[in-house]
Amino acid sequence: MRVVACCLMASAALLVGCQLGPADRSPDGEAAPTPRSGSVTPSDELSEAPRTAPRPSASLMPSRSPRPPDDPPGSPAAPVRFRAQSALATVRALAADIGPREATSPAYRRAAGLVEDRLRGLGYRVARQRLQVPAGVSWGVPVRSGTTWNVVALPAAFHTEQPHLLLGAHLDTVPQAPGAEDNASGVAVLLEVARMAVRGDTRLPVVFVAFGAEEPRGEGDQLHHFGSQAYAGRMTVQQRSALRGMVSLDRVGVGRVVPICTGGVSPPTVQNQLTRAASRVDVPVRRCDDNQSSDHWSFEKEGMLAARLGSTPYAAYHSAADVPGVVRRAQLARTGRITWEWLRSR
């Protein structure tokens, strides 16, 4: 991975601000947990979230990108390839082992812990971005207000005011759905591409974000995409300028053609880049320009370049039938190849 050398800024806002606010406190008014020594806190809004079980600490500032555990020391570098079977195993871990992951539920916390541990194990600096979501009705099921988190992973020795790309996928589900396709599939591709980015060069540093509370909690745009709205809305002017493109991976495991969509507001820069990338890796695609139902829309509304991969209709959408058997390994591979090619070249 191409690494941009810089110093971590201790006093300036590294992601969104520097004053302790209500979002940094738990619902009972206690201060948010203090990050471990060596952890990264890109803003006051980013912190270690409560965990159900302790895990070993890990350095978030390695002097170089770590060699993945499946690549023994001294062995020649293997070609960087998307491992669809590993992505499918992640779908099973999220949708079968954990199941429905409504944004304020204990199950969501377990899923966030899984994603955080995977990214931290790859050598990324990982933190949680805390946000509050309101009570409401999510696809016909009442949901409580509460706290949720975005899981944010940054390359070592990188600052978000330097040119970069962002790859995101929402981690939550509607309450009644195990969410294999919506959206364990997107998270699975994100984690596999994050592994590839450790081993192979990308044209710019890449920030990886598992967004919380993407699913609606009522009617209207303001009751949807809470995690990505929080992330995009808290970015500084410098960070927005530094972001060269955002892609949302959402429902990417069904069908034979990969949708490449925008909300119809931003210029089609990223959409065009993805289309060219798909052509180079021989993956069929379908373009659409009126898709505002994923996290790319939060960035488009804020004037940033963004697009979405995925959104093929399927019968199990937002239902208890959205189980791992719905997801196809070949489609995960198609999406992964496009995504990696986009990160690697224009």
The whole-chain average pLDDT of the chain stands at 83
pLDDT in tens, 67-116: 444 444 444 566 789 999 999 999 999 999 999 999 999 999 999 999 99
Model confidence at 46, pLDDT cuts 50, 70, 90, reads: low
Domains and CATH numbers, the chain: 48-53+80-344 (3.40.630.10)
More confident residue, 2 or 128: 128
pLDDT in tens, 247-271: 999 999 999 999 999 999 989 999 9
Residues near 92 by beta carbon (within 8 Å), at least 6 away in sequence = 324
Please provide the distance, in angstroms rounded to a whole number, between the alpha carbons at the two ends of the chain: 16
pLDDT at 10: 35
% residues pLDDT > 70 (the chain): 77
The pairing of beta strand 141-143 with beta strand 285-288: unpaired
* Residues 284-320: b if buried by 16+ CB within 10 A, e if exposed: ebeeeeebbbbbbbbbbbbebbbbbbbbbebebbbee
Q: Which CA distances in Å does 246 have to 14, 232, 265?
A: 18, 11, 14
Q: Is the pLDDT of residue 40 over 60?
A: no
Q: Is the pLDDT of residue 145 over 90?
A: yes
pTM, full prediction: 0.81
Q: Is the pLDDT of residue 130 over 60?
A: yes
